[in-house]
């Protein structure tokens, strides 16, 4: 996971004996790695991915990810879509910002679908989205003067991250959304809501490892029960566990 050229990263609240902590996830198309950390900051991100983080991270705009250079990030457009809709709903002072963003979202996903279906190549994708990049940049620049302070701050923040909105157009293997990580976290979120997390450090280690195992096997379309059976059989025989990642 640490060596992967690109990876999806996300985090959600967790509990250790009633204390708030965080369950972190890094995922690729074939692997998932979970880790319970006491914090939600940069140190926890390093615990997950190492001191010198490699590759491109696809994530939301949480401040811990500012550890990465802008050119090594991909900001999730699914999150941005919700944000732009919020500014449309807020009122007339922020409507222009939201509408410009939603227009960009619509065109972006249409172009991305064509690219995935091989109706256009990467240079075609870049050419198709070049006007969108220019128009959205202009709208965000204008939005900096919005009288609604939160909206103006939002526009400034996106401009600071602007190259990270378009990494998927430049680099293969990078997607415009973080939906993969969000889908993989749902099982953990349901677990937390039902069982309220863990009561011990050992429980946290079990949660990390069983989530890593189950979600990785599912990504690889491998049977979970068969793998766990083989792993327990190998353990009792004093043999190495079967490989989770080939």
The domains of the chain are located at 6-72+178-236, 77-164
Q: Tell me the fold of 6-72+178-236.
A: Nucleotidyltransferase; domain 5 (3.30.420)
The pTM score is 0.93
**104-141 pLDDT per residue, tens:** 999 999 999 999 999 999 999 999 999 999 999 999 99
Say whether pLDDT at 246 is over 90: no
3-state secondary structure of 56: strand
User: What count of residues does the chain have?
Assistant: 246
Read off the tokens for 42: 């940069």
Give the pLDDT band (50/70/90) at residue 225. Answer: very high
What value does the mean pLDDT take over residues 193-209? 94
What value does the mean pLDDT take over residues 172-181? 97
What percent of the chain has pLDDT above 90?
Answer: 98
CA–CA dist 85, 232 (Å, integer)? 49
Say whether pLDDT at 200 is over 80: yes
Give the pLDDT band (50/70/90) at residue 178. Answer: very high
Least confident of 34-38, 216-220, 242-246: 242-246
CA–CA dist 157, 146 (Å, integer)? 14
Average pLDDT over all residues of the chain: 96
Say whether pLDDT at 41 is over 90: yes
**148-166 pLDDT per residue, tens:** 999 999 999 999 999 999 9
Measure Cα distances from 108 to 45, 70, 79, 166, 217 in Å.
Answer: 29, 20, 14, 10, 31
3-state secondary structure of 220: coil
CA–CA dist 92, 97 (Å, integer)? 10
3-state secondary structure of 200: coil
């Amino acid at each position: 996971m640490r060596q992967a050229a690109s990876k999806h990263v996300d985090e959600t609240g967790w509990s250790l004996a009633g204390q708030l902590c965080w369950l972190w996830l890094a995922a690729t198309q074939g692997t998932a790695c979970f880790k319970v950390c006491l914090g939600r900051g940069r140190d926890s991100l390093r615990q997950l991915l190492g001191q010198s983080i490699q590759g491109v991270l696809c994530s939301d705009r949480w401040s811990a990810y500012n550890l990465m250079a802008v050119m090594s990030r991909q900001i999730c457009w699914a999150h941005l879509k919700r944000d732009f809709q919020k500014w449309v709903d807020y009122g007339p002072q922020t409507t222009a910002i939201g509408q410009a963003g939603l227009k960009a979202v619509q065109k972006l996903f249409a172009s991305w679908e064509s690219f995935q279906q091989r109706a256009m190549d990467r240079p075609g994708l870049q050419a198709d989205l070049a006007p969108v990049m220019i128009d959205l940049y202009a709208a965000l620049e204008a939005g900096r003067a919005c009288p609604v302070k939160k909206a103006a701050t939002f526009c400034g923040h996106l401009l600071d991250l602007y190259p990270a909105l378009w990494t998927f157009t430049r680099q293969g293997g990078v997607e415009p959304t973080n939906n993969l990580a969000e889908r993989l976290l749902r099982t953990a979120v349901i677990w937390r809501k039902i069982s309220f997390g863990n009561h011990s450090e050992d429980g946290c280690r079990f949660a990390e490892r069983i989530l890593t195992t189950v979600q990785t096997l599912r990504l690889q379309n491998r049977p979970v029960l068969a793998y766990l059976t083989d792993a327990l059989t190998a353990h009792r025989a004093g043999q190495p566990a079967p490989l989770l990642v080939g």
